[in-house]
Amino acid sequence: MVTNAHTRIKYQIKPFTLLYTHTSPDPIPDFLSSHAASIRAVVSVGRLPITAEFISNLPSLEIVVCASVGVDHVDFDECRRRGVVVTNAGDAYGEDVADLAVVLLISVLRRISALDRYIRSGQWTRLWDYPFGFKLNKKKVGIVELGSIGSLVAKRLDPFGCIISYDSRSPKPDVPYFYHPDILSLAADNDVLILSCSLTDETHNIVNREVMETLGKNGVIINIGRGELIDEKEMVNCLVEGVIWGVGLDVFDNEPEVPEELFGLENVVLSPHSAGMTAESLNNVTEVTLSNLKAFFLDQPLIFPIELD
């Protein structure tokens, strides 16, 4: 079994021989080809692209186990063609990711980062000379493609008195929130957009300039999904021009690079793709990864299989 990063697994995995690409002095293609015949499983930690070329180096590959919720770095077409199974981390990170979405929203609305810098820089010389923010109570919050994490975010915002709505391909009968058929309608009716959806061809740059203009000058965007969900260049332009009011970002288009224009903006809160990075979540994902592997090799149902069709 090959893994592309240190997984912090503290358990003795007797049935498996672990091969770590990140500790090998050989380039990844050479490393893979030298072990190709024996590798039946790949554990993907981080976002090393699992491309058709990568997979072609592994003729015995049967399963790709992703220690992440997002699987946009895996070539589904090639996995389907080869009959390779794919799993992800399911809900292992969900609670912590939802927590950070709320933290980012409050931090943007109440200008927490800006106020922290204001005090540290020695600018606070008298009472009430700092910039005011906005209250969270009664804010209208639109969740883009309400899924498992989006539902957890909504659950957390309910006690704040937020008015929650969502968009998706079709209404969800068991959801008590107002449904919008598309993101433009969602943006037009809300103060805040929260992005927690997966990255697909359909959701790539789903938040473009038209969406931001529709959201309006008091609008806030929170992204805990993938950076590519937003047209990043237009987002920067819209912030500078005052088309929208603020953003809270845990993800970016070309990580770890971040547009430098964001650094000087007081209405922006940034986080280094760390939404799920808690000790509890890492323990959860370790358990899920091991469970998926054990289930596969024992010919039992997988914990979080991904439908490739």
Please say whether the beta carbons of 99 and 154 come within 8 A: no
Ordered by start, the domain boundaries in the chain are: 2-92+278-297, 94-270
Please identify which of the residues 53, 210, 255, 280 carries the catalytic annotation.
255
Which of 47, 73, 156, 273 is an active site residue? Answer: 273
For the domain made up of 94-270, give the CATH fold. Rossmann fold (3.40.50)
Specify the fold of 2-92+278-297.
Rossmann fold (3.40.50)
120 a catalytic residue: no
Report pLDDT for 125: 83
pLDDT in tens, the chain (309 residues): 666 544 343 344 456 677 777 777 777 777 777 887 889 999 998 778 999 999 998 999 999 999 999 899 999 999 999 999 999 999 999 999 999 999 999 999 999 999 999 899 888 887 777 778 999 999 999 999 899 999 999 999 999 999 999 999 899 999 999 999 999 999 999 999 999 999 999 999 999 999 999 999 999 999 999 999 999 999 999 999 999 999 999 999 999 999 999 999 999 999 999 999 999 999 999 999 999 999 999 999 999 999 987
DSSP assignment of 67-100: SSS--TTB-HHHHHHHT-EEE--TTSSHHHHHHH
pLDDT number for residue 6: 41
Distance CA 131, CA 86 (A): 49
Domains 2-92+278-297 and 94-270 share a fold: yes
| List 226, 228, 232, 234, catalytic entry | 226
Using N-to-C axis directions, what is the helix angle for 112-120 and 94-109, rounded to 10°? Answer: 60
CA distance 241 to 243: 6
Residue 255 appears among annotated catalytic residues: yes
Distances (CA, A) of 64 to 74, 81, 84, 186: 9, 14, 7, 36
Q: Closest Cα to residue 227, out of 209, 203, 263, 192?
A: 203
pTM for the whole thing? 0.90
Q: Report the pLDDT value the prediction gives residue 3, as an integer from 0 to 100.
A: 64
